[in-house]
Structure 1
Amino acid sequence: MKIGIINFLRIVLRIFYIFPIKDNYFFFESFNGKGYNDNPQYISEYLSNRHKQYRQIWSFRNNIFKTVVTPTNIKKVKTGSLLYMYHIMTSRVIVTNDFFSPIIPIRKSQILVNTWHGGGFFKKVAMTSKLPSRYMEWYYHKQNQMISAFVASSQYFIKTVVRDSFLFTGDTIHCGMPRNSVFFKELPNVKERLRNYFGVPFEDNSLLVLFAPTFRGCSEQGVLNMSDENLDVKKVHEAFEVKYRTKVYFLYRAHHAIVNDKLSGNYLDATAYPDMQDLLYCSDILISDYSSCMWDFGLMNKPIFVYAPDLQYYENSTGFFKDVNEWPYPIGRNNKELLDSILSFDYGDFINRNTKCMAELVSYENANATDLCVEWIFNRKQTV
C-alpha cells in the first residue's frame, strides 16, 4: 500500500514537467533541509566564488527557514512546499548529502549528485544493516533511478556503502568529499576564529579535545546514551592534561539527530557551531564512537580515541563494515579503559596503523575535491 501511494504521488507530481528545466539553476539540500552545511555548502560556495552566473536555490525546513544564515545570492525555499517542488523539478543540477523523498519524480535530463555525509568503514547502513526489508530494497532502487552519481571518499566506501548498502550501480566521482579538502590546507585564520568563538586563547600551547559521538536509535529519535556509564568528562580532561602536560579545553558536539542529551560535566558546548569541519580542523584530539567524523579527522593524522560503552549492543543491532579490532584507534569500552588508552597512547604506533588503514581503503580524499566534483558536474551538463 505504501509503495502504491508513493507511485500515485509520483504520477501526480509530474504536472511540474510542464515547466522547462533551467540550465543555470543549482538546487541544494543538506541533511533534508536541516542547515546550510556539509558537502553541499562547500560546492555552493565554490560556485559563488568562481561561477557567479549560476543561480542557487537552497531548501530549509520550516523551523529554521527564517533564522538560517546564507549568502545574499542564494534563494531559500521551505522544504516540501510548492515552491520547493517547482525548483527541485526545474533545476538542471541537484546536490544533496542524503536521499530525497521517493515521491519526487526527478527527470532523466536532470543531474542529481549525492555527496553523502560520511566516509570510512564504520557502521552499516541500508541493505547491509541488520533489518533490511522489501520496502527498503524498493526504496533504494527508486533512489537509484534518480541519482546521477555518488561522490566517493574511498574505494572501500564504493564497495561497502554505494554498491552493497545502497545497491547503486551508476557513476561514482572519485574526488573525495568536498568538505574534507580543508584538511589538506593551512588555514590559521580558521583556528583563530574558532578559538575566539569559544573564548580560548589562540597563542598559548593549550589543546582542544573534541567529543563527537554519533546518534543512537532511528532518525529524529536519536539519543546519546545507550549505557549506564556516561563519559566522565572531568577524569578524561585530567588524563589529557597529565598526558600532554598542558592546558586542555574540552568541546562537545552533539549529533544533529540527538534529542536526548545526557552528557554532564564541564565542557564547551560546540553543538550550535555552524561548521563541523572547522571543529575537526581546529581540534587537536578527537573522541568519538562510531561516527564517520573519525575518518575525516584521521586524514590529518591527529590522535583519535573511541569511547564505546555500548559496543556489543551496537555491533549486534547495527554492525560494522570492518572488525573493530582492525580499527587504527584505541577503543575504551568504559571510562577506565579510555583513561588507560589516553595515558598509554603511542603516537608513532597510531600513525603507522592509521596510514596502513587509509592505504588499504584506497582513500580519494584530497585538497581539490570540490574542484573535481564541480568539474564532473559541468562535464555531465554538456551531455544532457
Structure 2
Amino acid sequence: MLLFKKIARNICFIISLLFRAFTEVHKSRILCMSYDFTKYSCNPKYITEYLLQNCPDEYEIYWCFKKGISIPQLPYGIKTVRWRSLRYFYIVNTSAFIFSNFRLGKFGSYLKKRQGQRYIMTWHSSMGIKKIEKDVENTLSIEYIEAAQYDSSMCDLILSGCRYRTEVIRRAFWYNGEILEKGTPRNDALFQSSLDIKDKICKKYNLNPDVKFLLYAPTFRKDYNLEYYKFDWKDVQCVLQQKYKEIYCILLRLHPNFLNNPSFDLTKHLNDSVVNVTNYHDMQELLAISDILVTDYSSSLFDFALLYRPCFIYSTDVASYDRGTYLNLNTLPFPVATTNEELLNNLSCFNSEEYINRMKYFNSQVIGTYEKGEACKELYNWMNIM
C-alpha cells in the first residue's frame, strides 16, 4: 500500500509538470485553499471576499476542495476545482496567485512554482500560545518537516499579525523571504459591525438575539479525554447572571478535529442553555458575536483580545500539557483558572477597567500587534505592486 501511494504521488507530480510545461500563467487567476482542502474559511476566505467586494471583475478566483467536501452557498463569483483532478493540475499551474493557510508540501500542492506565480502563506492564526514548526521540531514527523521546508522554499510572502509572530516566522518557519506586517485578513472582521452576523447565527441555531453569549472554545487534545473539557455550565450561567444582570447562552465550539471522531461526545453533558456550534464554518464570526470567551491554548485568545471583551483561560492540564508554550499562561493579561471553582471566581471578580488596561499594554508592548482591520487592503496593494 505504501509503495502504491508513492507511485501514485509521483505520477500525479509528473502530470502536474506536464501541465506546467504546456500552459501559461494567467495574470488574473487566483487559487485558494484552506485546512487541507476541506473548508472555505480562515484568511483565504476573507481575502477572497475582500476581492469580490472591492474589485469583482479584476480576478478569476478558484477554490480547491477534496473529493466529497461540499461547501453550501459559496459567494457568487467563486469557481471550484477538485484537488488532484486534471483540472486542478491545470489551475494550480496557471494561477498567478496562490493562497493557503496550511503547509503545501510537494505532494500536497503537486506544484513546482514557476516565473509569474506568487505563493502567499497566510497561516491560520495571528499569534498563538502553542509552540509551532521548528520550535517543536523534535515532535514533528520527517514527512511534515520536509513538506514545511518545501512550502517555505516556494513562499513569496508570509503574513504576520504582530511583532511576536514575525519573530517566530523568522526563527521557526525555515523561511528567509518577505513578511507582510500588516495584520491578519480574518481579523478584519473583528473591526466591523457584527449585527448581520449575529442575526445569521441566531437564525441558524434558533437563538434569542437579545441574550448575551459566552463562547467556550477549547483546543485539541490527542487523547480525546473528556476530563479536560468538563465545564459547570449552570454555575457559570448563574455567576454571570448575578454579576451582569443578563441572561447568558453558552456556545460550545470544539476543535474541528473532533468532528472526525464519533466516539467523542461532549454534547451529552450540555443543557438547554448550551448550544453546540462546533460545525459552524467560521470561528471569527462566532468571536464577533460573543460577549465573553473561555478557552485554553487556542490562538483565538489573541484574536478576541482585539475586541477588548472579557477573555478567560480555563486549562485543567497545565502541568501535563506536552505541546510547549511561548508565553507562561500566568504572564498573560487573561485571568487563568485550572479548576471550575477558580473559573467561577475569576468570572465573579472580573474587573473590566483593569483588564482593558492590561490588554492595551499587552497588545502594544508585549506582542506588538499590527492589526488595524486593513490586512486585506494591504495585501491587495502588495498584489498590485507585484
Report the TM-score when normalising by structure 1: 0.89
Deviations 1:67-98, CA, capped at 9 Å, x for gaps: 53312322111122222222112111101111
Percent identity for Structure 1 against Structure 2: 28
In the alignment, structure 1 residue 209 sits paired with structure 2 residue 214? yes
Deviations 1:8-58, CA, capped at 9 Å, x for gaps: 975663222122111111001111222212111111112212222311110
Structure 1 position 318, deviation (Å)? 0.6
Q: Which runs of 5+ in 2 are unaligned?
A: none
1:253 counterpart residue number: 253
Which of 32, 35, 38 lines up with 2:39 in the alignment? 35
d(CA) in 1 for partners of 2:254, 2:150: 32
Q: 1:321 aligns with which of 289, 310, 326?
A: 326
Post-superposition offset of 1:145: 1.2
| CA distance 1:226–1:122, shift in 2 (3 Å) | farther
TM-fit CA distance, 1:229:
6.3
SS at match of 1:367: coil
Partner of 2:231: 231
Q: Indicate yes or no: 2:29 matched with 1:22.
A: no
What code does the residue aligned with 1:117 have?
H
**Deviation by residue 1:312-357 (Cα, 9 ceiling, x = unmatched):** 221xx11011111111111111211111111111212211221111
Aligned to 1:352: 357
What's 1:151 paired with? 159
Matches within 5 A, 1:1-384: 10=13, 13-17=16-20, 18-51=22-55, 52-65=57-70, 67-103=71-107, 104-109=110-115, 110-129=117-136, 131-132=139-140, 136-160=144-168, 162-202=169-209, 204=210, 206-217=211-222, 223=224, 225=225, 227=227, 230-258=230-258, 259=261, 260-263=264-267, 264-266=269-271, 267-314=274-321, 317-359=322-364, 360-380=366-386
Task: Write the letter of the residue equivalent to 1:131.
Answer: T
Check the 8 A contact 1:234/1:265 in 2, yes or no.
no
Q: Which runs of 5+ in 1 are unaligned?
A: none
- Letter in structure 2 aligned against 1:239: V
Aligned residues: 368
238-247 or 189-198: bigger deviation? 189-198
CA deviations over 1:335-384 (Å, ceiling 9, x no partner): 1111111111121221122111111211011121111111112212xxxx
Measure the CA separation in 1 of the matches of 2:79 and 2:198: 30
Deviates more, 1:328-337 or 1:7-16: 7-16
Q: Structure 1 residues 234-243 or 370-379, which shifts more?
A: 234-243
Closer, same or farther: CA 228–149 of 1 in aligned 2, 3 Å = closer
- Counterpart residue identity of residue 375, structure 2: A
Q: Secondary structure at the match of 1:313?
A: coil
Q: For residue 18 of structure 2, what is the amino acid of its counterpart?
A: I
Distance 2:163 2:228 in 1: 37
TM-score norm. by structure 2 comes to 0.88
